[in-house]
Chains A and B, each alone.
Chain A
């Protein structure tokens, strides 16, 4: 198939970027979206141009590194990640707009590559259980009901891609933060630091410049890991609870 691409090119944060047109020719339908870009890049190279920079690593939908906004939607219209989007979902002759994930807390590095380390800093603020090596009781010492374990797993599946923030009109990271808070709050091991965690993560999120949640639910719609928006409710409850406790 042949496609008309409009790709965001920008040398670095200091220069201005623009959409540039490219033609992608003879693209097999079995190609993934990133393999299509590989072919375009090979073509650019052969013409002495610099290839389009984009982030990727696992190419199987789990590392969360790939991050393209395709026709205005983070990860495109797939129900998974950009790397697991296959060209058979597109029509021959279609025009495709390819832009980076945009959120003020994700500064651009080059072309389609952005800096998402704000997400790491939010996790550093409290996304953990303080268990030191060597001190753990037997793994079966504390029973965890299957439903709780499943609930924790559902939230823990977040791949940290940032699509939720990129899709949100307020660039809110509530789905991402809610996922971690819900994961750990669903397990007995996560209880002791539960409130501290919610407070610290939300404060860090605000400090990083992510916006508020106004329930647009764009995040849930684009999330490749199917994190349910219910985690935001959980986050709000834990946060409110912690605030009350803190003020006592």
Chain B
């Protein structure tokens, strides 16, 4: 054993002894993150129901009560009408552009995140079935 490896060994021991390193978190953190998540789901529900995403006052909830028939558990899937494997946000944009006569949102637009969070929340507990038709 050389002095060098010995020194390294000591350093590892020192690191392990330090508290709260790496991805360590406690109940207060979880509470905070859940609250953030819930707030975004709530924003999504508001966007879903208020008729302001498009230009004609139509709301997603008019055709999708409780976000039913949006099937987030099946995406990405082959969308026959688009002729390719597509993501959920692409179908969100389809419905914004058509029944709502609005403009597409960017995939990472906070509003899109909120919509996807809400849709997925309403579908909690349903098993993943990628590609299902």
A binds B: no
